[in-house]
Each structure stands twice: as structure tokens, then as C-alpha cells.
Structure 1
Amino acid sequence: MIFISRRLAPDSPLLRWATDRGQEIVGRSLLTFAPVAFTAPQRADWWFFYSKRAVQFAGDIPPDVRVAAIGTSTAAALLKACGRVDFCGNGHPDRVAEDFLVVGEGLRVFFPRAGQSRLSIQRSLQDRIEVLDAVCYDNRPNPPAAAIDADTYIFTSPLNVAAYLDHWPLRPGARVFAIGPSTGAELLRRGVDCRWPEEASEAGLVGLLG
């Protein structure tokens, strides 16, 4: 059985891959989410989104700002929400920050984000952009009531890693994957050997799973 710490959409590349191979896959977030009241800035050149949840909870995006996504999943959520994406990174914060400077340097960039965000992009660029920041949703660990017995574990955020490993062990000998480098770094910090794809996305994970 494959476990991934997020709900899988009907058109999920991972779900399609598993179905085609007769593999059981269980998608379940180990977090809870709740909106947080916030005030959007009056003037911003960009709105930058770290996650599709931020898109969900940020409300209406002004038509006169450009919008940026850290990776492809967030970009897909933006396309559904406002019909456009002006910048899409590859999900690797260091590379995304470097690439975003080409279009965002010196400008006002608003980051609607989770309360538990690591602030990776704005911390990297705070001397080269004007950071406008607000928490638009809260994310809290929601650990499972029992250990998950899987042959393969896929974690989709550092907080999901904590929600599981702070309470339960991984099955000995199981394969472990992270969706991207931030999640991978948290697993490695805890002594868990893992791999992650070049592109932080479900499609990238499919490439690793083979």
C-alpha cells in the first residue's frame, strides 16, 4: 500500500499511476485547515502563493496584480481561481527565489500564507523585494489514531512529516519519498532516508516511483 499525506483529486497523476498498476493508494492529509481573517494590501505588484491552500483562503485576487506560484500544483489552483499565472516555479525554494527575481526584483510582493509557513521565499528575497505579508489560514497537525502500515510513504510538507513521525514509526523497510526539498530536509533531519523529484509535483513523484 502507498500512503500520501494529501487528498488525491480524481485527475491526480499519482492516482492514475496506481490505478493503472493495480496498486492501492491512500491519500489523506495529516493537517487541519481553518481560515484566518486578514487585510490584503492596498497596493501590491505581485501576489505570491506558496500552496493551493493559500489560493483557497486568500479570497478574491485583484485583477491588476500579477500572480506567482511556487510550483505546478499551486499554479493549477491559481488557474482555477483567477484564470491566470504570471510566474510558476519548480517547487524548490532556492531556485524559485532566484528565478522570481528576474520579474519581481524591487517590487511590492504580497505573500498570503499559512500560519506555520517557513517563509522560505520572502526570507530569501527580503533585501531585494518589498515583502507584504499576511496569514490567511491556519494549519495544525492532525495525527492519525494509529500507525499507517504502508510499503511506501509520501510526505507532502514538513508539517505532515511532524504530524506523523511525532506520534508513530514508519514501517521498517518501507520506501519514503518527499514531494520536494523542504519536506525531504525535514525527513533527513529526523534520520529518515528519502528521495524527492526534481520537480515538486505529483507528476514528478510518478517518475520516481517508476
Structure 2
Amino acid sequence: MIFISRDLKPDSPLRKWADEVGETIHAQSLLRFSAVPFELPGPCDWWFFYSSRAVQFAGPIPTERVRLAAIGGSTAAALLRRSLRVDFCGDGHPDRTAEHFLAVAEGRRVFFPRARQSRLSVQSALADRLTVLDAVCYDNQPAPPAAAIEAATYIFTSPLNVAAYLDSYPLSPGARVLAMGPSTGAELLRRGVACVWPETAGEEGLVGLLG
């Protein structure tokens, strides 16, 4: 069995792959989300989204006056589901995404609606090259499962999901561990858990590793 620390949509590439190969997937987010009221800190040129949850909790977005950026494909897809355009999409790797985003946004005013526990990866890397506007738009708290999950492969989708599970339970002996991207991978490695992650963050990249 494969465990992944996120809920999967019916058209999920990972679920489709599992159905094709006859693999069982246990999909369960280990976080609890809630909206946080916020105000836009000031006029800006861009809104930069770190996650699909930020898109969900950002409220009305003045698309006629700003451009929209996503850290990776899953976040871009969340914008499209809200019938919003995507003016910039990174590859899910914070350092590379920051470098590429700078090419279109250097010197601009960029608003980062984010989680309370965000690591501020992109905005910290660019703070001296553009004007950062920041606000917490949602809270994400650990919600560990009621019991340990026995799996042959664990896929963790964020550093906080890693903490939510490993602070409560051990991994199954000999299990393979994948991370959605480098930030999650770094947290696993910090805890002494060997893991790999795809070159491009997202479910398609995970399918490539699993297949």
C-alpha cells in the first residue's frame, strides 16, 4: 500500500496510475485548515501563491490590476479551477522558482498570501530584489491519524505533514519514502529519513518515481 499525506481528487494522476497498476492508495491529509481574516497590505503588481490552499483562502483577487504567480503546477491548477489566469508558474522548487520569478518581477511589489506556518522560501530569497507584501490568509495545524499507517511507500507532501506523522508514529520498517518536493525532502532528511523527490514537484513527477 502507498500512503500519501493529501486528499486526492477523482482525476488525480496518482490515483489514475494506481488504478492502472492495481496499487492501493491511502490518501489522507494530516493537517487541519482554517481561514484567517486578512487585508491586502498595499498596492501590488503580483500575487504569488505558495499552495493551492492559499488560492482557496485568498478571497477575491483583483485580477484586472495584478498578475498571478504559482510556485508549481498544483498551485497553478488551483488558480485555473477558480477560472483565474496563471501569469507565472514555477517548478515547485523554491530556489529555482525564485530565480525564474525574478526575471519577470524584479523591482515589483509582490503580495504573498500564505499559511501561518509558511517557510517563506521564495519571498525570503527575493526580499532584496523586490518589495514583499505579506499576509497570513489561512492556518494549518497538525492533525495526526488515530493510529499508525502501515504502508510499503510513504509520500509526504509538506514539511508540516512530515511533522504531523513522525512526531506521533514511526514509519513501517523497510518502507520507501518519497517527498513531493525539496522542502519536504529536506525536513525528512533532517529527521534522518532517507527519501527521494521528483525533479518537478507534483503528482506526475511522483508517478515517474513510482513507475
TM norm. shorter chain > 0.5: yes
Gaps of 5+ in 1: none
Q: Give the match for residue 144 of structure 1.
A: 145
Residue identity matched to 1:47: W
- Number of residue pairs matched? 210
CA drift of 1:42 comes to 4.0
Q: Give the match for residue 28 of structure 2.
A: 28
* Distance in 2 between residues matched to 1:31 and 1:194, nearest whole Å: 21
Q: Give the match for residue 108 of structure 1.
A: 109
User: 1:55 aligns to what SS in structure 2?
Assistant: helix
Is the 8 Å Cα contact of residues 42 and 133 (structure 2) preserved in structure 1? Answer: no
Residue identity matched to 1:111: F
Residue identity matched to 2:197: W
Q: Give the match for residue 85 of structure 1.
A: 86
User: 1:169 aligns to what SS in structure 2?
Assistant: coil
* Distance in 2 between residues matched to 1:101 and 1:167, nearest whole Å: 39
Residue identity matched to 1:16: K
CA drift of 1:40 comes to 1.5
Q: Deviations over 1:27-70 (max 9, x none)?
A: 10000000000002341100000000000000111021000000
* Poorly superposed stretches of 4+, deviation over 6 Å: none
Is the 8 Å Cα contact of residues 122 and 131 (structure 1) preserved in structure 2? Answer: yes
User: 1:131 aligns to what SS in structure 2?
Assistant: strand
Q: Deviations over 1:97-151 (max 9, x none)?
A: 0000000000000000000000001100000010000000000000111110000
Q: Deviations over 1:67-89 (max 9, x none)?
A: 00000000000112142000000
TM-score (norm 2): 0.98
Question: Once the two structures are aligned, what percentage of the paired residues are identical?
Answer: 72
Q: Give the match for residue 190 of structure 2.
A: 189
User: 1:113 aligns to what SS in structure 2?
Assistant: strand
Q: Give the match for residue 155 of structure 1.
A: 156
Is the 8 Å Cα contact of residues 71 and 201 (structure 1) preserved in structure 2? Answer: yes
Gaps of 5+ in 2: none
Is the 8 Å Cα contact of residues 45 and 66 (structure 1) preserved in structure 2? Answer: yes
TM-score (norm 1): 0.99
- List aligned pairs for 1:1-40, cutoff 5 A: 1-40=1-40
CA RMSD of aligned residues (A): 0.7
* Distance in 1 between residues matched to 2:80 and 2:88, nearest whole Å: 12
* Distance in 2 between residues matched to 1:199 and 1:94, nearest whole Å: 13
Is the 8 Å Cα contact of residues 61 and 82 (structure 1) preserved in structure 2? Answer: no
Q: 1:82 to 1:133 in 2, by over 3 A?
A: farther
Is the 8 Å Cα contact of residues 111 and 133 (structure 1) preserved in structure 2? Answer: yes
Residue identity matched to 2:51: S
Is the 8 Å Cα contact of residues 67 and 87 (structure 1) preserved in structure 2? Answer: yes
* Distance in 2 between residues matched to 1:171 and 1:41, nearest whole Å: 46
